[in-house]
Structure 1
Amino acid sequence: MSHTVEKIGGTSMSEYRAVRDNIVLHKRKPGEYYRRMLVVSAFGGITDGLLECKRTGAPGVYATFADAEDDSAWEQTLDNVSNRMAQINKEMFGLSPERALADSFMHDRIAGIRDCLHHLRQVCAFGQFQLAEQLQTIRELLAAMGEAHSAHNMVLYLRQSGVNAVLMDLTGWRTDEALPLDQVLEQALERFDLSSQLPVVTGYAHCKEGLMSRFDRGYSEMTFSRLAVLSGAREAIIHKEFHLSSADPRLAGEDQVIPIGRTNYDVTDQLSNLGMEAIHPQAAKGLRQQDIPLRVRNTFEPDHEGTLITTNYRSPSPCVEMVAGRRNLFAVELFDQDMVGRVSHYAECFTDELDRMKLNLVAKDMNANTLTYYVSGNRKKVRRLVCALQHRFDNADVNTHKVSLVSAVGSDMSIPGLLARSVGALNKANVPVRAVHQSLRAVEMQFIVDDEYYEQAVVSLHDELVQTHAETVALAVA
């Protein structure tokens, strides 16, 4: 089927006029609005209010309900989110009839959630029922509300412009049975005619697997990916508020960074490991296996083709495509003289403890008697990890350091002298290098630096490895 599946992020959704004008209507005649599916996230900030703030960890409805001993705290938080949703409805629809429809839909679901949480609290007052066993279900119920609200609003909003938009509600609202994800999507697809309808799909899908328990806040990318795979899309598209660029424009400068025109799924895996939201690796896996191209576009530059990501792409000549990184990592260093000849045993124990503490491993290095793992997570969990390792290995010295990781990434970086140039650029910028990792596959080169030098490292590597290359190519073409 010649159609696209397109995901719209929360920041872009908050700019709903741009979604309508730049994504749906842009240079299209009425008959050309279709053969697409839009998978939408909640409006910016709504999921943070329903769950917890992704950036600061500030509690939302979920966290407040889980911790509170009475109902007043979580009910007030739910009221705050409801008021924010009502304000979005007012801004989108003003005094039009669609506002009443949007408000009715939103209030009905909020009331249902409120009743559910009240009843659950009452049931758990009996000793046979434990609230902790229901928390994951509550988390999914609350997350679904954000996407249901935004998808329903977008349907109403697009209909005002003559688009035959229809709601594909995958949230499982008031359903009795949880089916496998693929079955949920296949049944939903049967109900729509892509030649004359534009389905607006909730990013959350209620299913037997439990998307949030497996992917947490990355669930909408899995819905998006599986829809593309199961429907045989010709292309999957992600609309963001920025280009996938050669570096963070806030660090390297908006006039210095370069939108990446082409790259491959191998590069997106490296970016995901760095915490960059190109696409979740498990979501990319399905697209890669079905050879479905992924395009990342800027919502606010509709005429720009964006970045096309395919399975087999390699840059025409070896080059660094991007300099990216991850701040606030902990280097956990385990030294033990008894490790010599038994590194694999120590590594297995180290990994077991990481999994138990639910810390994310970003990179690691090793020698005869030392293992260093670079992990992301809060300081409390890292302290527990250190104590656990010290308990397992009585004679070991375990130390931690706060560091950042800066990476040069590209689909083909087999460039002679690249390491020397990179270290030279960092040295010239007075950035001390704590560790270096270079793999045989030539898709990434990592530099561990003290956290205070992160920005200098990104800028100096981008200037040397990306800007210099771009200027050389421009001169050759001229």
Structure 2
Amino acid sequence: MSPENEPDITPEGDGGAPVYQAQASETDVSRQPGADGDESAGTPERGRHTVHKIGGTSMSQVEAVFDNVLIGDRPKDALYNRIFVVSAYGGITDLLLENKKTGEPGVYQLYAGSENDWAWGDALTNVAKRMVEINAEIFEDTADQKSADQFVQDRIEGVRSCLMDLHRLCSFGHFKLEQHLMTVREMLSSLGESHSAYNTALLLRRRGVEGVFVDLSGWREADQSKTLDERIRSAFDDIDLERQLPIVTGYAQVGDGGSDGLMGIYGRGYSEVTFSRIACLTGAKEALIHKEYHLSSGDPKIVGADNVFPIGKTNYDVADQLSNMGMEAIHPRAAKGLRQNGIPLRIVNTFEPDHPGTVIEDDWEPEKAQVEIVTGLETATEIEIVDQDMVGVAGSDEAVSGIFRRFRVPIVAKSSNANTQAYYIAQPMKTVRRIVETLQRHHPDASVRTRKIAFVSVIGANLREQSLLARAVRALDEAGIELMAAHAQGRGVDLQFVLPEGSYAEGVRVLHKTLVEADASTKNGTLVAA
């Protein structure tokens, strides 16, 4: 590697964590495994190392993460051969973009809606203030805190300057702000992961561990044309996993950003895609996600903490169904890469380090049918279209489905008969109304009806037992819960129940008690197939 292409591993600021910027290398991508576009091509031999992802809520519990995950009572030779991909501290991404639950605007939303309004600048200042507050909470060493604060200032003010310049540029008629908004969104989002990753590497160094800050964000990098695989390979080219502990940003700058960037493609689940590709490209023996809870048989807030069980073991089909319900164990695209490369995924509880968690593998299937999880969507919408012209017409459903694709609306479930199609979605009413208006415009003779519903899904790696559906229907009937529709797929991984609006919690309790608690076979407190 030529001197001008050597990675920058010099500290940023006085006493700063070693920084490994992903810069250009002479790596021959064509000879590397897992090239972009073919996630299983040339699968590398499994290594000795593991790849971990720590979520934002867990990251905020800094001491717990260090005691239970990063260091704890591990001997020195057990500290390495691990790679950690980190999310931003809890709440930071909400401040940078928008609140994921309430929709309250963050810096991005304020900037995207600004004309002469500079409220986004005040919001960015508040982000910097919150980041510095976090630094003050977690750093005991003054030099470390000073270095962390300087890092925040450099990144925040760099972004502020960039956004001001873009705002001025777009005041001319030749440039349109909306054409650059996705790139702005990606740049803002990257601040959160860069902050948490830099701090974590700094804290590790203070505790005698060779933590390395691996920055995939492309910050101030001249070459912005790398693919995700190229950026990862370049970043890890000179890292010695036997002696260094990489702390990697969940965000990775890809291509020219915008709609083709990680966020443009995967939304806010991009960090799991980065995590998955690192595991695949480096040949990890296992991938682990550290969450603040176990992957359990039900929501303890609904069915009771004493009635739920960690699952223990399941397969990627179950993970896909969970994603369909918005209860992601892992982003579907991230799961696809791990699945194709034969890498097991383990979901573990950050606060129970001695618990083995739940292992997800591709080819695992229990011999005996058993329900593993009861979950669903508390509020969803059924859109039903009845059209006599559909009868006997091949492909009549494609025209209707195309309208949902146009609005980029995921379909949770659908059913059809000779003249009726029903689609179940979880979207705001504004989106529902736009879909209905479009359906009526393109199918003027059809009757389109909507109604709010609750959607409960019973999920397991093996549900191929006829009595399960019958028992579920009977239990709902005995509980006095109206069953509006039920769907059972031949693959035998989920049973879906459409219930009246407001019936979600009771439906989950009834089905969990009937299909999980009554049949539960456990080992060391973990649900297993008997």
TM over 0.5: yes
Query: Which residue of the partner structure matches residue 401 of structure 2?
Result: 351
Root-mean-square deviation over aligned CA pairs: 1.6
Q: Distance in 2 between matches of 1:432 and 1:395?
A: 31
Cα distance change of structure 1 residues 198 and 472 upon mapping to structure 2, 3 Å threshold: closer
Q: Indicate yes or no: 2:468 matched with 1:422.
A: no
Q: 2:262 aligns with which of 206, 211, 233?
A: 211
1:109-146 deviation line (CA, Å, top 9, x unaligned): 00000000000011111111110100010000000000
Query: 1:43-192 to 2 correspondence within 5 Å?
Result: 43-94=89-140, 96-178=142-224, 179-192=226-239
Whole-Å Cα distance in 2 between the matches of residues 120 and 141 of structure 1? 13
1:271 aligns with 2:346: no
2:340 equivalent in structure 1: 289
- SS of the residue aligned with 1:452? coil
Q: Which amino acid aligns with 1:49?
A: L
CA contact (8 A) 2:318 2:460 kept: yes
Is the CA contact 1:365–1:373 (under 8 Å) kept in the aligned structure 2? yes
Q: Deviations over 1:174-200 (max 9, x none)?
A: 012220110100111112110000000
Distance 2:126 2:55 in 1: 22
Q: Which moved more, 1:369-378 or 1:33-42?
A: 369-378
SS state at 1:360 partner:
coil
3-state SS in 1 of match to 2:254 = coil
Inter-partner Cα distance in structure 1 for 2:93 and 2:399: 36
Matched residue of 2:499: which SS? strand
- For the 8 Å contact 1:343–1:369, the answer to whether it is kept is no
Write the letter of the residue equivalent to 1:270.
Answer: Q
Residues in 2 aligned to 1:85 and 1:241: alpha-carbon distance in whole angstroms: 21
**Is the deviation greater in 182-191 or in 88-97?**
88-97
Partner of 1:332: 383
1:355-376 per-position Cα deviation (integer Å, ceiling 9, x unaligned): 2222221100111111000012
Letter in 1 for 2:218: G
- 1:15 aligned residue: 61
Corresponding residue of 1:244: 295
Q: Distance in 2 between matches of 1:425 and 1:292?
A: 38
Q: How does 1:301-340 map to 2 (within 5 A)?
A: 301-340=352-391
Indicate the SS of the match to 1:212: helix
* CA shift for structure 1 position 95: 5.3
CA distance in 1, matches of 2:483, 2:126: 47
CA apart distance, 1:431: 1.2
Q: Is the deviation greater in 242-251 or in 462-471?
A: 462-471
**Aligned residue identity for 1:129:** F
Greater Cα offset, 314-323 or 461-470: 314-323
Q: Distance in 1 between matches of 2:289 and 2:70?
A: 13
The DSSP-based 3-state class of the residue aligned with 2:379 is strand
SS at match of 2:220: coil
More displaced, 69-78 or 141-150?
69-78
| Higher fraction of helix | 1
1:193 is aligned to 2:244:
no
Give the letter aligned to residue 220 of structure 2.
Answer: R
- Any stretches of 5+ residues in structure 1 without a counterpart? none
The one-letter code matched in structure 2 to 1:454 is Y
What is the deviation of 1:154?
0.8
Q: CA deviation at 1:57?
A: 1.1
Is this contact kept in 2: 1:247–1:323, CA < 8 A?
Answer: yes
8 Å contact kept, 1:343–1:368: no
Instruction: Report the secondary structure of 1:470's partner residue.
Output: coil
TM-score by length of 1: 0.97
SS in 1 for 2:306: coil
Contact 1:18–1:300, Cα closer than 8 Å, also in 2:
yes
- How far off its partner does 1:327 sit? 2.2
CA distance in 2, matches of 1:95, 1:181: 36
Q: How far is 1:94 from its partner?
A: 4.1
Kindly indicate whether the alpha-carbon contact (under 8 Å) linking 2:303 and 2:509 is maintained by their aligned counterparts in 1: yes
Number of aligned pairs?
Answer: 475
Cα shift readout 1:193-241 (whole Å, capped 9, x = no counterpart): 1000000000000011410110010100000000000000000000000
Task: Give the match for residue 70 of structure 2.
Answer: 24
Following the alignment from structure 1 to structure 2, what is the Cα–Cα distance between the partners of residues 325 and 289? 27
Aligned to 2:421: 371
The whole-number CA distance in structure 2 between the counterparts of 1:386 and 1:254 is 40
Deviation at 1:96, TM superposition (A): 2.6
SS in 2 for 1:469: coil
Check the 8 A contact 2:378/2:505 in 1, yes or no. no
Q: CA deviation at 1:25?
A: 1.5
Using the size of structure 2 for normalisation, the TM-score is: 0.88
Distance in 1 between residues matched to 2:374 and 2:277, nearest whole Å: 30
Q: Could you tell me how far apart the structure 1 residues matched to 2:67 and 2:204 are?
A: 10
SS of the residue 2:294 aligns to: coil
Q: Which moved further from structure 2: 71-80 or 14-23?
A: 71-80
Residue-by-residue CA offset, 1:388-437 (whole Å, 9 max, x unaligned): 11111111110111112111111111123111100111112221111100
In structure 1, the partner of 2:40 is none
SS at match of 1:433: coil
User: What SS does structure 2 have at the residue aligned with 1:83?
Assistant: helix
How far 1:27 sits from its partner (Å)?
Answer: 3.0
Q: Tell me how far apart the structure 2 counterparts of residues 459 and 379 of structure 1 sit (CA, whole Å).
A: 27
* CA–CA distance in structure 2, aligned partners of residues 97 and 281 of structure 1: 42
Distance change in 2, residues 1:343/1:54 (3 Å): farther
| 1:343–1:275 CA distance, 2 compared to 1 (3 A) | farther
Q: 2:490 aligns with which of 430, 440, 455?
A: 440
